[in-house]
Amino acid sequence: MEKVSLSEDKRYFEDFMKQFLDLVDPELSHKYKLPEDREAAKLIANSLHTINRFIYTQSSKLKGLKCMTRYGSADYFSEFHKFWEENNKQILDIYVNDEKCKEVAESLESNYRPFSPSSIVDVKGLSPQQIANTRLFTAIQDFGFGLRLDYYSLARQRPYLFNPEEISRHPEYTNQLLTQLGVSDYQPDKRIEWISRCARLLVDRYGGTAFNIGKVHNYDVVAIREALLKANIGIDAKNADMFLRDMQELQVWNLKRFEEVSVASDMNTMRIALRTGITHTRVPLFSSFMDVFCYHYSAVDETTAKAWRRAWELWRELPNNHSVTSPAYIDYLIYNMGRRCCRSKRRRCEVQCSRDEQKRCILNRFALPNCGDRCIFKGICDEASKNLNPPKSISIFGKYGWTTAYSDEGGGLGLRC
């Protein structure tokens, strides 16, 4: 029988087992050691197989069972998927922390000077119809990262790329639009479908322009949001609110019930919500590879919107406050604080702005004139939370989504990128 020899790195697995056992029986953890290499190899193989089977394998127990998503039903991915769907929020203890929301509200009252992003967003030369079309076609995409080109600038250069009637007549324009924005190789199948559906919707129901959506729904925020969510064009509540926010901010529409529009959750607003603690979690969030079908991403996304709304509500309750009339009016502030001040590896609570950085800072010039080169939430984030990162998600459907990655008792298979 051939000798089995494991490298010294087997200690990482032994440490993993000790950490796991420590949660169950600290005494057993203290005593635990891997057996000799031949037996250790068997133990490690069987342990990893069991973990993989639970999280990533579609077992026979799930035969005939379906889960519901906002795009329709799908087969369960694994036993973990079924378990995670029903229990993720309770396990991670995700909720809005009122005490932290009040601290954030007090800081906003002390530091924030309301301003309109319309003063720095360049839409010159574009008609209200063009602004509405451009913003809707980009809002439905949920890119999750910075674009190569400003879409309003692109709309000035190539207006036909955002014209619903032109897109309907020339389907090749969808590829051109994604190429110009620099995202043609990022989930193009679903993006092309969403653009095509959106163009057909605007032509069939709204006279060929997103501008008419406001009039058709009496400029009511809730009615417009509901219509967009039911349209099946790839837009969710977060992106609908982003669209509504910009239509109000850029004075395309004068909306009713604008206070119903929330801060849009994205990587930046979620990062600050987690670090300040207004969005509470029991432990740091899991990798997207563990979050099968994006349940805890969705829970954090939803809770973050509620948390920023709660901070706004408490701000309005402060004596003699100077609060804004909708949570949407602090969206630009929080988003840019996440992009510029509270980044993944560099935090303004630890590293002050240089003098040159402060001169170039849009937030300092327009919204936070007295921030003193530091984050206005310094002191709210504690040592345990200031390094927290927001979740990411893997698409459920699409060419590289969860539903293309099923495995079974035969092993192997999975996601191919």
Q: Read off the pLDDT of residues 220-238 as tens digits, 9 standing for 90 and up.
A: 999 999 999 999 898 888 8
Is residue 325's pLDDT more than 60?
yes
Question: Average pLDDT, whole number, for the chain?
Answer: 90
pLDDT at 142: 65
First to last CA, the chain: 39
What is the arithmetic mean of pLDDT over 273-290?
Answer: 96
pLDDT confidence of residue 182? 77
Read off the pLDDT of each residue in 276-303 and give the average, rounded to a whole number.
95
Is the pLDDT score of 144 beyond 70?
no
pLDDT in tens, 259-279: 999 998 889 999 999 999 999
Contact 363, 112 (CB under 8 A): no
Residues 97 and 94: their CA atoms lie apart, in Å, by 9
Q: Report whether 272 contacts 383 (CB < 8 A).
A: no
- What predicted TM-score, i.e. pTM, was given to this entire model? 0.87
In eight-state DSSP terms, residue 250 is T
- The CA–CA distances, whole Å, from 415 to 56, 399, 406 equal 10, 10, 8
Share of the chain above pLDDT 90, in %: 64
**Could you say which of 3.40.50, 1.10.340, 1.10.3820, 2.40.128 is the CATH number of the domain covering 122-249?**
1.10.340
Which range is least confidently modeled, 43-47, 99-103, 184-188, 195-199? 184-188
Please provide the DSSP assignment of 324-354 as one string: -SSGGGGHHHHHHHHHHTB-SS-BTTTSPPP
Confidence (pLDDT) at 132: 97
Is residue 143 scored above 60 in pLDDT?
no
pLDDT tens for 47-95 read 999 999 999 999 999 988 999 987 789 999 999 999 999 999 999 999 9
Q: Is the pLDDT of residue 161 over 70?
A: yes
Lowest mean pLDDT among 126-135, 242-251, 361-370: 361-370
pLDDT digits (tens, 9 = 90+) for 352-406: 777 777 777 777 777 787 777 678 898 899 888 989 999 998 888 877 889 999 9
Q: Which two tokens stand for residue 141?
A: 């995409």
Q: What local confidence, expressed as pLDDT, does residue 367 receive?
A: 76
Q: What is the mean pLDDT of residues 287-292?
A: 94
Please tell me the predicted confidence (pLDDT) of residue 152: 92
As a whole number of angstroms, the distance between CA 397 and CA 168 comes to: 24
Residues 273 and 276: their CA atoms lie apart, in Å, by: 5
CA 272 to CA 266: how far, in whole Å?
10
Give the start-to-end residue ranges of the domains of the chain. 10-52, 57-116+266-412, 122-249
What are the b/e assignments for 191-200, b being 16+ CB within 10 Å? Answer: bbebbbebbe
Please say if the pLDDT value at position 147 is more than 70. Answer: no
Helix, strand, coil in percent for the chain, rounding step 5 = 55, 5, 40
Give the three-class secondary structure for 75.
strand
User: What SS3 class is residue 106?
Assistant: helix
Q: Does 96 score more than 80 pLDDT?
A: yes
Site of tokens 């619903």: 164
pLDDT the model gives residue 119: 72
